[in-house]
Structure 1
């Protein structure tokens, strides 16, 4: 029943710089034109101008809302290609001391959570490169807000980032619906003139009318040639895959026959056949009860964490969740965890600045030396005495060394469902690793 452990460790022998999945299809277009990549600080400044946050724009949100009342329909907008949105941005880990200070941890390693923030910013930028309103007056910012709806997956296997070299993000819009856009991107290591791809990611973004929760139409994406068509078709496949995974979710459909056998075996482990008594109070050696494998934190969302639209920045939410998940994995195992896979991060509703945000990180499944973490983010409305979930995050970690991770033992039915769901997400991480291996030569 276990995962194929060889699939996990095969990634250490493979170079992920190919831009291909298991079928030999490109995940990004081949872009041969000369381009001067912006630094991430330049890109952030340019984004501010796009949405009217620069000091030279005096119109304010009221002017943007006035423009947004005359928003065109999708068929009135010119279609775009993937090359229209393609761009690159440098993350100056080696060349900028200021950037280093904000992105490097106490042990000299790059903070993955800060890279998540940069990727979120880059995804928004790619969407604005795709969205084009020909009749918009010069100097008037885009009357459209672009927000993160979903981080579909980020995969790179066991990566170890240092400050020896700069990094580069490259990507483009790879699929478009009526109001949503899928952005594909790669993070590469810059070694001289050579780029080695470290991880790839897919973000799903949604366009809204400025200052409103109402959706806004975006330009159609018309694939230009077989290369773009193949990538666009992959975007359609991703939609079907996500829907299928959600439709078969543990909250909608009972566990499969295979999963029921797994749960029954867990029960038998807790059952003494001699006395017919459950040993619920005795945790097996090398294991930990699920209820003991979690940490919580409450964050006051301050203005320093706001995005371009005066809500809490999605990248900040991801970083906070990741860092709590990492700490939980570290404390639970006593070994250093390395991020292996990030999957299915849903942004259910925006978080207001000033909110009390409660995070709970829970270890839900382990196999070999891999550990699956689930993190929920809940806004607490203290005066009303209510709560609402805003985000759910899923992270797969690989622990230092070859020894297995401590087993996670569920004791209640809700915990067994979390256990099964965690197993499913770990299987997705395994599949992602297989798909991102370069195709065999010859």
Structure 2
């Protein structure tokens, strides 16, 4: 099984350089200077209602949604869109957990904390709301709905603080546009919860959103950004650097190019650790003490989706997929560690294909890398059909921390070794080590 691995370990490839991660400004976890950071005027329920109203969508579920083709003629040209400042898109919303008992029931974990998966749903919806704040079409008639569709492309490096959440305290969600392309927007969103009367950070996330036309059949232009302050200039410059880094990481993916020199040495080390030195037993694999085979540690969940899992365009809501993946990965980490792990990072979420609202969704969480007391998990979301077909639509990477050291995870096949290498890269990136 590892003959290919032995051959590959001898191949000389150029060293792939990984640049130092571009860090966010400290202001990302508070707010831009000069913007109002008081309690928001909208709740998240109201934000969702406002999005539906802006887009002119019908309320209630309709298997064939209302046509928006008449809005295509209102798709603006790039030159018709005025420049915007970052502070123009800044907005906040509230989860009134302190007063809404129904909301508490939906968000509570069995320990009384807030379910992180529920917050992932809110982050995704709120990123769309920030897009609505940024887009300004001066030539759009007052009685015409917004001729846009906003789609989540990826979520990059969500980090979590050490704050222990409380389901009986309000949570504030804030964010703004931090960079724009021709038809894409980088959105920074952060969550804070009241602790002894003061808002404390829970997490911060970066969303890359695509602006599409009213029928989601083509790209739509977005307003450019003209920084209003020196602070905004720095954030915009960082956004351009983060774009280049994302492109480099995608180009250097282990699924596209060969491992670098160090990684090939690492592969050979795994081979040596898991193969007897006796030449008569080269076809057998050996598991070292305090180690586990990757193939034996995965968690699988298959569920049907329903209309209440849909977004504004009758496909499965990206935030719902994020919640499913996070909760599935947490289950895998808990079972592997044997104790409750702490979620520390979600380093990468990619949205490859839309998921029909009638889909069967299969989520598989693999333990792909471990180091000391950290566990790196890759969660794959597949859409199944009744004929036996299976298509991967989403990929999620998350990092958990246990109280004590965990068993080492080891690959037993070549493709698992590629997962191991990719998992190691994601882990190092999440912790800012590469």
TM over 0.5: yes
Shift in alpha-carbon separation, 1:201–1:302, aligned structure 2, 3 A? same
- SS, match of residue 263 in structure 1: helix
Q: Is the 8 A contact 1:158 1:339 kept in 2?
A: no
- 1:80 is displaced (CA, Å) by 1.0
| CA–CA distance in structure 2, aligned partners of residues 344 and 269 of structure 1 | 30
Note the alpha carbon deviations across 1:347-391, whole angstroms, 9 max, x for none: 1111111011221110100001110000111112323x4322110
Q: Does 1:228 align with 2:232?
A: yes
- SS, match of residue 69 in structure 1: helix
| CA–CA distance in structure 1, aligned partners of residues 59 and 120 of structure 2 | 27
Q: Is the 8 A contact 1:302 1:353 kept in 2?
A: yes
Q: Is the 8 A contact 2:87 2:176 kept in 1?
A: yes
Task: Flag structure 2 segments of 5+ consecutive residues without an equivalent.
Answer: 1-21
Q: How do 1:315-326 residues align onto structure 2 when only pairs under 5 Å count?
A: 315-326=319-330
- 1:189 is displaced (CA, Å) by 1.9
| CA–CA distance in structure 2, aligned partners of residues 406 and 195 of structure 1 | 37
Q: Is the 8 A contact 2:58 2:66 kept in 1?
A: no
Q: How do 1:333-352 residues align onto structure 2 when only pairs under 5 Å count?
A: 333-352=337-356
Aligned equivalent of 1:376: 380
Task: Flag structure 1 segments of 5+ consecutive residues without an equivalent.
Answer: 1-20, 435-442
Aligned equivalent of 1:398: 401
> What is the Cα-based RMSD across aligned positions, in Å?
2.2
1:388 aligned residue (387, 391, 414): 391
- SS, match of residue 207 in structure 1: strand
Q: Does 1:104 align with 2:108?
A: yes
1:293 aligned residue (288, 297, 316): 297
| CA–CA distance in structure 2, aligned partners of residues 226 and 263 of structure 1 | 46
Shift in alpha-carbon separation, 1:36–1:163, aligned structure 2, 3 A? closer
Note the alpha carbon deviations across 1:71-118, whole angstroms, 9 max, x for none: 111111111111111011112232321111111122222111100000
| CA–CA distance in structure 1, aligned partners of residues 200 and 282 of structure 2 | 53
Q: Is the 8 A contact 1:159 1:339 kept in 2?
A: no
Aligned equivalent of 2:130: 126
Q: Which moved more, 1:172-181 or 1:284-293?
A: 284-293
Q: Is the 8 A contact 2:163 2:200 kept in 1?
A: no
Q: Is the 8 A contact 1:79 1:222 kept in 2?
A: yes
- 1:278 is displaced (CA, Å) by 4.2
- 1:279 is displaced (CA, Å) by 8.1
Q: Does 1:244 align with 2:248?
A: yes
Equivalenced residue count is 406
Shift in alpha-carbon separation, 1:424–1:158, aligned structure 2, 3 A? farther
| CA–CA distance in structure 2, aligned partners of residues 126 and 378 of structure 1 | 29
Q: Does 1:362 align with 2:366?
A: yes
